[in-house]
Amino acid sequence: MTERTGTTLYRDVWRRSIDEREGFWLDAARQIDWVRAPSAALTQHSPTDYSWFADGTLNTSYNALDRHVLAGRGDHTALIYDSAMTGTKARISYSQLLDRVARFAGVLRASGVGKGDRVVVYLPMIPEAVVAMLACARIGAVHSVVFGGFAASELAVRIDDARPTVIVTASGGLEPGKTVPYLPLVNKALQLSAGSVHTVIVRHRDAIDGSAADYADDTSVRWLDWAAAEATATPAEPVTVSSSDPLYILYTSGTTGNPKGIIRDNGGHAVALTWSMRGIYDIGPDDVFWAASDVGWVVGHSYIVYAPLLAGATTVIYEGKPIGTPDAGAFWRVVSEYRVNVLFTAPTAIRAIRRVDPELAELERYDVSSLTALFLAGERLDPETFHWVNDGLHCPVVDHWWQTETGWAICANPRGIQELPTKPGSTAVPVPGYDIAILDSKGQPITKPGKDGNIAIRLPLPPGSLLGIWGGADRFAAAYLTAFPGYYATGDSGHLDADGYLYVMGRTDDVINVAGHRLSTGSLEEVLTRHPAVAECAVLGVHDALKGQRAAGFVTLKAGWVVEHDLLTAELVNLVREHIGPVAAFRDVTILDRLPKTRSGKILRKTIRQIVDGEPYKIPPTIEDPTVLDALVRAVHPVPAIPIQFTGAKEPQ
């Protein structure tokens, strides 16, 4: 596009997406192949009841694979697989991936899976995860990916909600220093669930014991070996589905009891993700895009599997960690070896690298000149971490904000439209299609720049956003649409500045009330990370008999730092007084080796607060390492006597 000064070009594009919604999204829809092209972009029955490209029909798998092969690009690399756990490396072309997907779609079809049927995918970070998801899309089935290694009880809950007929799994997953066998977990989940599953398809891994043959005597469920079934399968042709037919169900992280399964459609999803690859990430055919996430999370769905392949790019699937597999140079090795153009990861991963390698010594071993941008999302990117990685990589660092529910970015620096000035601490500007408002507690717009409030999005949400919640339209409305009529409530708080840049300061329940003063935990965390010894931190409101709540800080230190607790506390208290003021009444600091996090890198703030306040708490099924909670209990309670409710993520001894 032609460059213009300031932000004019971006604002022209964004304004058209809001004021000329039909034309904007019908133009975007022409970037994918339809069986029947839609005659209209938006069909709206009421302010909260609408659909995108309602009369259009297509197949998402065809758009991700077949059309590129038919265009003569079959020999181009679709997927790079790199396992830091086994040393396995592979490049899979579009033709090869299409063949595998068509054959496995044939396996599913032979197992009785048809259009609209659900399939649970319970796999580690291996190419078969991509194959299984695209194979479901090929025959119009609805996949529900559950993070590999989830506890049996949590898997059972999701089985009973989605009612799948088939589970696709592997003998297990690999973590640094340990293996996680999946088949006993799957078998237990089947025993706990209501019995919708009739077939389990198992991909055997040489590094982990276990195969379908181990369960051959099970007469209630058929256990198939993936390799044998694929070798004899008849390839399946793509099945035409309606734009609004569901593509997948994805359960939001931390869900327990009554799960909340986000439904994504086919048409709006394909259009939005295709547009985003060029509009936001500036990625096209033959570029290499690496989302260092997991297919169990929304980032993995959108930007490991679907978006790069829809765009004809090369996607990377990596089995490993940012540190410890084998060192803090793991990410830089992958970027260098595969000439990655854009890396997308979580701020938590960058902070982990910073903690272990604060001088970025490992980076010097690799040529990362191919990297045109680093995109971060999932946790708030504090300015200190931004400056550290920005100064080290010498490429644009983009903090962008989105949610499982939206499926793609709400705010970003849209590099494919116009490179905008960066403001550390901000997720930049609304992406075309998203009309953001800051609302007070009564739902009235806050127009004053810099004043915090509830971040909301005016309806309708753009294509690619959630279609609803599996099992009930009422649940969708109750969860997101009733708090502020006419808006989608994001559950996040923050503000817009005078230039229209958004600052996401945290979840609305992370705003704490200290003696009547409302304080953003994000602002407090931003201050704590200014201290040179602090690698990462979490600030939350804990119970205080006098003030109602008080701010408590939990910090980890950079590698090599040794600091006396009272001295660090005094210095952090002074920083808060200097930058926030005495109203924060900040005085509590706990030093930890690690913060408790989900496997996607989100800090478990609610669980930390429950532990500090002495409340019963559940170990979330998404937790990365349950033993970190034991250390936290010992740090804040000399005699740990808090009742714990186990959910299955860590069984009581």
User: Could you write out the three-class secondary structure of 478-526?
Assistant: HHHHCCCCCEEEEEEEEEECCCCCEEEEEEHHHEEEECCEEEEHHHHHH
Is 196 within a domain? Answer: no
Is 190 within a domain? Answer: no
- The answer for 254, left when phi > 0, alpha when psi is -120 to 50, beta otherwise, is left
pLDDT > 70 in the chain, percent: 92
Residue 171 pLDDT level (bands cut at 50, 70, 90): very high
- Look at residue 303 and give its three-state secondary structure: helix
Residue 483 contacts residue 455 (beta carbons within 8 Å): no
Residue 260 contacts residue 468 (beta carbons within 8 Å): no
Is 342 within a domain? Answer: no
The number of CA neighbours under 13 Å toward the Cβ of 382 is: 25
Is 163 within a domain? Answer: no
The boundaries of the domain holding residue 636 are 515-645
- Look at residue 35 and give its three-state secondary structure: coil
Could you give the CA distance from residue 80 to residue 92 in angstroms, rounded to a whole number?
6
User: How confident is the model at residue 255, as a pLDDT?
Assistant: 38
User: How confident is the model at residue 272, as a pLDDT?
Assistant: 98
Q: Name the residue among 77, 75, 78 with its Cα closest to residue 61.
A: 78
Alpha carbon distance, N-terminus to C-terminus of the chain: 62
Three-state secondary structure string covering 237-257:
CCCCEECCCEEEEEECCCCCC
Mean pLDDT on 279-290: 97
Residue 640 pLDDT level (bands cut at 50, 70, 90): very low
User: How confident is the model at residue 653, as a pLDDT?
Assistant: 30
CATH number at residue 627: 3.30.300.30
pLDDT tens profile 544-565: 766 667 888 999 998 888 888 8
User: How confident is the model at residue 644, as a pLDDT?
Assistant: 46
pLDDT at position 647 over 70: no
Neighbour tally for 477: CB within 10 Å = 14
- The answer for 433, left when phi > 0, alpha when psi is -120 to 50, beta otherwise, is left
Is 131 within a domain? Answer: no
Domain count, the chain: 1
User: How confident is the model at residue 2, as a pLDDT?
Assistant: 36
Residue 113 contacts residue 141 (beta carbons within 8 Å): yes
Residue 652 pLDDT level (bands cut at 50, 70, 90): very low
User: How confident is the model at residue 144, as a pLDDT?
Assistant: 98
pLDDT tens profile 614-635: 888 888 777 888 888 888 888 8
CA distances from 168 to 110, 205, 301, 637 (A): 14, 14, 16, 43
Could you give the CA distance from residue 398 to residue 375 in angstroms, rounded to a whole number?
5
Is 539 within a domain? Answer: yes
Is 102 within a domain? Answer: no
Segments in 143-297 forming alpha helices (H): 152-162, 183-192, 226-231, 267-279
User: How confident is the model at residue 221, as a pLDDT?
Assistant: 96
Q: How many helices (H) and strands (E) does the chain have?
A: 20, 34
User: How confident is the model at residue 547, as a pLDDT?
Assistant: 62
Is 553 within a domain? Answer: yes
Residue of 571 and 516 predicted with greater confidence: 571
pLDDT at position 477 over 70: yes
User: How confident is the model at residue 526, as a pLDDT?
Assistant: 82
Residue 76: burial class (beta carbons within 10 Å; 0-12, 13-18, 19+): middle
Residue 314 contacts residue 77 (beta carbons within 8 Å): yes
Residues with Cβ within 8 Å of 191's Cβ and at least 6 positions away in sequence, in order, are none
pLDDT at position 494 over 80: yes
pLDDT tens profile 563-602: 888 899 999 988 888 877 666 778 889 999 988 888 767 7
Q: Beta partners for 556? A: 536
pLDDT at position 363 over 50: yes
CA dihedral 559, 563, 565, 569 (to 10 degrees): -90
pLDDT tens profile 378-432: 878 888 899 999 999 989 999 999 999 999 999 999 999 999 999 999 999 999 9
Residue 253 pLDDT level (bands cut at 50, 70, 90): low
pLDDT at position 78 over 70: yes
Exposure letters 371-402 (e unless 16+ CB within 10 A, then b):
bbbbbbbbbbbbbbbbebbbebbebbbbbbbb
Across the chain, which distance is largest between two alpha carbons, in Å? Answer: 71
pLDDT at position 324 over 80: yes
Residue 467: burial class (beta carbons within 10 Å; 0-12, 13-18, 19+): buried
User: How confident is the model at residue 225, as a pLDDT?
Assistant: 97
pLDDT at position 650 over 60: no
Could you give the CA distance from residue 334 to residue 290 in angstroms, rounded to a whole number?
9
Q: What is the residue-averaged pLDDT of the chain? A: 90
pLDDT > 90 in the chain, percent: 69
